């Protein structure tokens, strides 16, 4: 009897330990510092931040039912205690974001696992700072496919949305961030899918990255799902 109970407890423990593996890959020419923000009540992964050198990859296990977002930080400098600053995607001047989100503009890779399928997307709703791709490994379904924003939007960023450093565009704001107007932020009388429509600014994003969220209600062409057990490769650049 004691053996059976121990065996049952072991099975319960193993079933609760099911994990999705996120592989983060830096395909950029320079070092980046990915940030990770979990959804409400979900555990931290890697304490929210890490460094990836060019060509480097890392595997991160996420527990069953995890949700959250990943983004890339660029042009960062941190001291030995982990304090510093990133020019784009900064999360409060810390290497380990520890529950803080990235300052927009930042390209996001977003996930909600096991709900009851995996939902994922690339979002430009908070603007753009670098190219990102999500490549599922395993899983099934007609919408279980690669999603990406691989166009360099910094090269095509409209006037008024550009973030510059030394004369070069290093990030592209969303129209909501740039102008804080209801029609761009989908707030107030524009706070629903029937009233908040694409704008000339979001359409620039959509043309450049057709499978990415270009504004808050861009669901039909921008949400992807995988059934079954899938792992995910997140490529930066």
Residue 69 inside a domain? The answer is yes
Residue 194 inside a domain? The answer is no
Residue 2 inside a domain? The answer is no
Residue 158 inside a domain? The answer is no
Average pLDDT over residues 37-59: 97
Average pLDDT over residues 138-167: 94
Q: Which domain holds residue 87?
A: 17-153+210-236
Average pLDDT, the chain: 92
To the nearest 10°, report the CA torsion of 199, 148, 24, 92: -10
Residue 189 inside a domain? The answer is no
Residue 34 inside a domain? The answer is yes
User: What is the number of structural domains in the chain?
Assistant: 1
Residue 57 inside a domain? The answer is yes
This prediction's pTM: 0.90
Instruction: CATH number of the domain at 77, please.
Output: 2.60.110.10
Residue 139 inside a domain? The answer is yes
Average pLDDT over residues 48-61: 98
């Amino acid at each position: 009897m004691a053996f059976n109970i121990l065996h049952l407890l072991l099975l319960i423990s193993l079933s609760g330990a099911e994990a999705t593996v996120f592989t983060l890959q830096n395909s950029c020419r320079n070092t980046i510092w990915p940030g990770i923000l979990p959804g409400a009540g979900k555990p931290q992964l890697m304490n929210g931040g890490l460094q990836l050198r060019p060509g480097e990859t890392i595997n991160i296990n996420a527990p069953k039912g995890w949700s959250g977002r990943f983004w890339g930080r660029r042009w960062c400098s941190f001291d030995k205690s982990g304090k510093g600053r990133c020019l784009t995607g900064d999360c409060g001047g810390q290497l380990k974001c520890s529950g803080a989100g990235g300052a927009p503009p930042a390209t996001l890779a977003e996930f909600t696992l096991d709900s009851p399928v995996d939902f994922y997307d690339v979002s430009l709703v908070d603007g753009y700072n670098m190219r990102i791709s999500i490549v599922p490994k395993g899983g099934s379904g007609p919408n279980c496919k690669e999603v990406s924003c691989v166009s360099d939007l910094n090269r095509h960023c409209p006037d008024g949305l550009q973030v510059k450093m030394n004369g070069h565009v290093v990030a592209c704001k969303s129209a909501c961030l740039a102008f804080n107007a209801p029609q761009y932020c989908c707030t107030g009388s524009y706070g629903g899918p029937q009233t908040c429509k694409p704008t000339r600014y979001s359409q620039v994003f959509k043309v450049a990255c057709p499978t990415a969220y270009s504004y808050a209600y861009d669901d039909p062409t921008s949400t992807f799902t995988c059934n079954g057990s899938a792992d995910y490769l997140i490529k930066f650049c």
